[in-house]
Amino acid sequence: MQSASDIFLGWSRRPAGRDFYVRQLRDMKVSADVEIQPPKVMRAYAMMCGLVLARAHDKAGDAAMIAGYLGSSDQFDKAIGDYAIAYADQVERDYKTFVKAVRNGRLKTDVSPSRLATALR
């Protein structure tokens, strides 16, 4: 996730307060092979993903302005909580459907059976 609209352009402010624009010359994405990672590596990977997501949200708006817009009511907080619970429930249903489809052969995968069994536990 980047903080600028151009997918190859981003910016960062260093601790000393100096700003830098960063441009990726080529889209050479690398992805973690999560099916084979030990728990320690997965925790580190999850932490990095969380930090990237937090950075993207940090760039999304001014907290004081948003708080002023929302006011003192807890209506928004409750709506976000309800949405989060409903979304989590939907993800769990989708995952069960995915696992069932893989196990009964309706969905093909190129992951070896032993690695897939570990991932689907």
The DSSP string of 51-67 is HHHHHHHHTT--HHHHH
Q: Write down the pLDDT at residue 72.
A: 92
Q: What is the distance between the terminal CA atoms of the chain, rounded to a whole angstrom?
A: 29
Q: What values do phi and psi take at 27, rounded to 5?
A: -85, 90
Q: How confident is the model at residue 15 (pLDDT cuts 50, 70, 90)?
A: confident
Kindly report, residue by residue over 104-113, the tens digit of the pLDDT.
Answer: 889 887 766 6
CB 115 within 8 A of CB 36: yes
* Average pLDDT over all residues of the chain: 80
Dist CA 119 CA 41 (whole Å): 15
pLDDT at 27 over 80: no
- For the chain, domain boundaries: 73-121
> pLDDT-based confidence at 22, cuts 50/70/90?
confident
Average pLDDT over residues 95-102: 87
DSSP label at residue 16: T
Q: Full-prediction pTM beyond 0.95?
A: no
Task: Specify the DSSP element, H or E, that contains 19.
Answer: strand 19-23
pLDDT tens for each residue of 50-77: 888 887 777 667 778 888 989 999 999 9
